[in-house]
Chains A and B, each alone.
Chain A
């Protein structure tokens, strides 16, 4: 190929232009940008009279699925099968409300760990990702450094422990150790731990890893109570904390902008009969800036572009959720993240300058002259483009 100094220079400019516009938006923020969501939902107690714990977990499962976390990214652990219990008045159905409007155990419930598989060992293996070779991939928590993980646990707890299956217990330092391992292995970016047990807050006392935000249904010395009893099924079907959590989410869809703070402050101690406690000292972002869908749904930040081709990028690449434009104004804008993208704006400004000038010139012509002149200019520029391209390709 004949080398042409003029042509090669122009080609280089164009190639830089294209490559910059492709690479910059992805590479400019920190490498741990939130880009996927996982949920680990655990019900730790067996036996018929603990029906409500399974109903709690299944309700949360349904909620996170509705808000956009796909089944393959939900690890569901259920210690007992209430739906098939002989005492169940409604065979193969589980309800979390006495009105029986919603069967939680309908189609498409994928239970990953069931019955006696729900042990402390398996739970810690899921969190830390240290499975035996035979464990299928669908049972792994395949999160990475960009993952937001929701960890929901319910069962019977006490001071700094959570009982698993009547035989063993998960202690607060076990949990803290697992979370620390996860952090070191870059298995999450942010982790929300939500626990609905008695004295749930004590389970968080040993946590040290950054990026963890926790909420428990009750403080030390408090019990968490069930919400109501289903007189048909004959057991309590949902716990208070979970009931009000669900009530909060029932109003939301995946386009909603409610912040974590609004969830955390929505719990009324008189209704809960306990004090919901949340710990944020390990968490950097202010809670009122974090949409709940960052954890309970699959909503994450994306960089919107006007067109698929970066040559026609708009001047400001601000933050939007990957949603329709009508909610843009309502969406919480995250200031600190936006700073990263400003540097990218300036580096690109020089290249975009010439193109802008040309467009302005075109626009000016459009406003003043009659259409024939514009057509003439257009034809002229097309001829010009044609000659340049043929000259380049020769």
Chain B
């Protein structure tokens, strides 16, 4: 008995010491919280800057794709046929009274000659309204109301795979615009390009998936027509409309969507020695298509057709001196590291670093904005991988010979991509979905790009814990008093989120007035909330506790946002984390006046820059140059965000704004 008791005691002690180790480690971290947070923040910033160096070359991960293994068979015959279509379209656009009725008919006629199943899809312009409840579900299922509005007409053709099972389909989309008289060349070429590929595929014996060609009328924007068609494709309308005889044919589930349009660049731009294809991949809320799709396009374009591939890049950053200096530093560091150990090969020429950074910034920004960069975004809403390819020819399309050569090249690129996707046996799943691009053939995967964010967020709980320990009150439930101002702030932020819904109901207000109404309404709401619930500075509310609670809520908000849209959380953390760490009341008494004055300066600067309106303006200024930015455009940019149902709007108003308000609360805390 005794022995057993002793043993039990020893065991208890052992477990006690074991658990104490973790606690002690945590305590150690908390006691050195300032040092830890400084180190973590610096590490996070450095890791962010080093990301272009850590980018890996892309590779095709899915065996089944086999890009470029088959020779393209698109010939001059197909292209000349397509050229006839182009000429016909141009004639109609020049002569006919109503080209927007004639062109779909013409396209349908050409499709039918190939033996495709053809129909027209009519759609109307959607009402760009603020739907607070439609976030994360981009397609509000509104019944089509074609009667009273002007509508666009897309033409759709379907080729059934001769020996396929008809359960899968590849969608080709070629947007065209008849309204824009100047761009009819390019629009007609887009149609021609699609037609050349379509005519080849209509005779192909190797199809395992059906081919759907949507010649989408983009008078209301490229995205609208595609999204309307996809909505009708996926949400069959069984009720009513039987009299109107609307034919809507379907093929199988979509394996992939390829949107391509021909764009003629202005001559004044710098001389190109090759045709260029620009890939746009970002869909709503930072979703990306599977990296394999981009890899296939890149591989075929570069290694088979000799087309240059571009992706979005911020030209301003390439010229920025700061980034260039950084590039030089990185080059030197890389060289130094390699001199230490020849196996460390992260040396990168500074020019490459600069370009990588500019591309990465564009990639992060486009994802963080949460707005699709093209019609492919509509596909992503139905979990279909899609990409938009913008092909710009080296020579003018007016010349028939160069046009034919260009169509042949572009057509073979699309043929190769279709054949590659046709080889797929299941959905794209092998490669990455979460990545940033630093070049068309370089990417930073999720495992790497999470490191800077983790470093930035890691000090938050530690600081919160240390602040909680520093308070004079020893009651473990003491944070409950400070929960009240937090609750008020968040209630207020919800009110601010919903206000635009009512403001947008009042029609015909200029955006400046809307902006002022929004600001005034928010201010009034805040005052009313304080009158109802009392001042945030009651005597129980210590500033340290307030800061701890603010940090806790912000870190929760950031982590949630990182799941929804990582890029937003990443950029947001750059603004919010310093605010959380530096917050200090003006009236607090400290011994070291130098440090205090420095912190105070920082605080005041952050109080200005951290305000969502200025923060957004700052971001846009950094990216696009400060000349064009105006604070009054905030309403428009917010309207843009909710028009696309971007979660970034929610983040700005529900996480960033309360954080800033609490920051002000701390700044002006009476410190009794």
The chain A residues found within 8 Å of chain B, CB to CB, are 47-49, 84-91, 229, 231-236
Pairs A-B, 8 closest by C-beta atoms: A234-B70, A86-B208, A231-B71, A86-B163, A86-B164, A89-B206, A87-B208, A49-B64
Among A47, A87, A88, A234, which residue has the most Cβ atoms of chain B within 10 A?
A: A87
CA distance A7 to B505 in the complex (A): 132
| Nearest A residue to B164, CB-CB | A86
Most B-side CB within 10 Å, residue of A49, A84, A88, A90: A49
Q: Does B116 lie at the interface of the complex (its beta carbon under 8 Å from any beta carbon of A)?
A: no
Q: Is B423 a contact partner of A232 (Cβ separation < 8 A)?
A: no
Total number of B residues with any Cβ neighbor in A under 8 Å: 19
Residues of chain A contacted by B425 (CB below 8 angstroms): 47-48
Task: Decide: A87 and B63 in contact? CB cutoff 8 A.
Answer: no
In the complex, are the beta carbons of A235 and B208 less than 8 A apart?
Answer: no
Q: Which residue of A lies closest to B161 (CB)?
A: A86
CA distance A47 to B63 in the complex (A): 10
Chain B residues with Cβ below 8 Å from A85 are 208
- Among A47, A229, A234, A236, chain B packs the most CB atoms within 10 A around the CB of A234
B66 sits at the interface (CB 8 A): yes
Q: Can you sample 25 A-B contacts with CB below 8 Å?
A: A47-B64, A48-B423, A49-B63, A49-B64, A49-B66, A84-B163, A86-B161, A86-B162, A86-B164, A87-B207, A87-B423, A88-B205, A89-B70, A89-B206, A90-B205, A91-B163, A229-B69, A231-B69, A234-B69, A234-B70, A234-B206, A234-B419, A235-B66, A235-B69, A236-B69
Distance (whole angstroms) from the CB of A158 to the closest CB of chain B: 15
Residue interface bits B394-424, CB-to-A below 8 A is 1, else 0: 0000000000000000000000000100110
Which residue from chain A places its CB closest to the CB of B64 in the assembled complex?
A49
B residues in contact with A89, CB < 8 Å:
70, 205-206
B residues near A229, Cβ cutoff 8 Å: 69
- Please tell me if B165 contacts chain A, counting CB pairs below 8 Å: yes
* Least CB distance, B84 to chain A, in whole angstroms: 28
Chain A residue contacts of B205, Cβ below 8 A: 88-91
Main secondary structure of the interface of A (DSSP, over half): loop
The smallest C-beta distance from A30 to any residue of chain B, in angstroms, reads: 50
Closest-by-CB residue of A relative to B204 is A89
Q: Are B161 and A234 in contact (CB under 8 A)?
A: no
- Can you name 18 extra interface pairs (CB under 8 A) apart from A48-B64, A48-B425, A234-B66? A47-B425, A49-B63, A49-B66, A86-B161, A86-B163, A86-B164, A86-B207, A86-B208, A87-B206, A87-B423, A89-B205, A231-B69, A231-B70, A234-B69, A234-B70, A234-B206, A234-B419, A234-B423
B70: contacting residue among A86, A90, A91, A232, CB under 8 A: A232
Bound complex: CA of A91 vs CA of B205, how far in Å? 8
Q: Which of B63, B69, B206 contacts A88 (CB 8 A)?
A: B206
Q: Chain A residues near B206: list those with CB within 8 A.
A: 86-89, 234
| Contact residues of B between 162 and 212, Cβ < 8 Å to A | 162-165, 205-208
User: Which A residues are CB-close (under 8 A) to B66?
Assistant: 49, 234-235
Taking the nearest CB of chain A, how far is it from the CB of B161, in angstroms?
Answer: 6
CB distance from B245 to the nearest CB of A (A): 33
Chain B nearest CB from A322 CB (Å) reads 46
Residue in chain B with minimal CB distance to A88: B206
- The residue that A49 contacts in the complex, of B71, B164, B423, with Cβ under 8 A, is B423
Q: Find the A residue at minimum CB distance from B205.
A: A89
Contacts of A235 in B (CB 8 A): 66, 69
Q: List the A side residues contacting B165 at CB < 8 Å.
A: 86
Chain A min CB distance to B186 (Å) = 32
Contact residues, B141-164 vs A (CB, 8 A): 161-164
Nearest residue (CB) in B for A233 is B70
Residues of A within 8 A of B71 (CB): 231-232
Most A CB atoms within 10 A — which of B162, B164, B206, B425? B206
Residues of chain A with a CB closer than 8 A to B419's CB: 234
Task: State the CA gap A229–B423 with chains docked (Å).
Answer: 15
Residues of B within 8 A of A86 (CB): 161-165, 206-208
Q: How far is the CB of A69 from chain B (nearest CB, A)?
A: 33
- How many Å from the CB of B405 to the closest CB on chain A? 22
Q: Which residues of B contact A91 (CB under 8 A)?
A: 163, 205
A234 to B204, CA, bound (A): 13
CA distance A86 to B162 in the complex (A): 8
Residues of B within 8 A of A88 (CB): 205-206
Which residues of B are found within 8 Å of A236, using beta-carbon distances? 69
Residue-wise, chain B 377-404 has the 8 Å CB interface mask toward A (1 for contact) of: 0000000000000000000000000000
